[in-house]
Structure 1
């Protein structure tokens, strides 16, 4: 633009001084002016092109700024996603480690359970052997025929000798009859063989009510029967009374249905329960034979 103004000014100056120059000089000045116009046109075109390029650069710069901002936003999103994935991975690794710990703990518990089951099996075998020892030792004084009249069971180291009421007492009575003497003498011998064992004599009845003077109910009857057996064992066979206990269960400890005659007959019984003390029980365990399947 400055060059254009300068050219115009020069041209005007030339006009002002035309009278002072020759024709040849004037024509040269005109040629110079035309050349200046051409150059000025080129400059204008260059200027316009520069303006367009500047606008394009500015637009491109804005586009680059937008792309840079978008790239930064994407980068931040990628960082967030990476952080989330890393957290998920750390959590998975922690859970896997915890899972390994839980599996190890479960294996230990299974092994402990297996050891406990093995111990129970061994204890059961030992208990069965102990019951066999007690049963053999406590019934060795009884003959085969006498064993038919006496039910002997050994459960968990405790001996249960059950006697039917018709073998011991008269119907509805509590005094021990003569027939029972021989059997009680055998039982007394068993008791005497184990002097430190405690002995509980327990009377049981059926549900039929008792109608006798001075006997109020089946509680009285069962207690009187147990007391009669205790006194026979003490007075006739010399069992230490400190070892003896008499108890009545009445009709409240049935082993059969009281709605049948056979059931009532089974419920009318006297049980002699022989219980070893702890030290004797441990001695019996030591004496118990090993299970036949152990090597």
Structure 2
């Protein structure tokens, strides 16, 4: 399966008889699938079918659908409303004279609504159906183009996410190496802390001292966090390999990554481990940002 981005663009042109149109489909990030489409007059009958076709191909993203329609009326009958044109010319001449300005030109009057009329060449039901079939076919071409663009962006995302996961894995390995050498340092610190406890609380029971030592040791042990981070890396790679419509799961997993990194930093008493933890948080933030683009 191919990983897909929620960002993409598709277009297609179409024509039928004296009709011409141009489709543009744009998608950006969104939590779900949000489709915005407004069909011009005479095209509304296919809107629901187009929405269903789009919903079958896309799972997430904010989708904007535009269609620009033009009809060639070169062969249509033209009628000039002479009575209206004469009346407008007279009124405008009078108004121009009152204002002391030049009267409007004939071109201005001809451009006014109702002066020049084009005879309506109405379609038969069969002609309208043929036109809408052609419009639908070109929409599907635009949709194919959009899906291909999202897949191309998805391939780039896959490479980026794999690279970020490799960086996270490297940092986790380095943190594990430091954590493996920590027991000796931890033992020395605990011995000092036990001496302080005995000096300050000579009457403290031995069981209480053992509890305090165990608590301190537990707070400094990051192996559990590192194990969970390794498990998250494995799960993230499995999701990437699975491909389509894993964006929500990857987003949730990025939050889990961040939670473990925060805990690691809060537990760390080693300067180098803390630095690695901060680098890890930066890499996880990069992962989270890129995951926002995945369908």
TM-score, length-normalised on structure 2? Answer: 0.27
Give the TM-score, by structure 1 length.
0.27
Q: Which has the larger radius of gyration?
A: 1
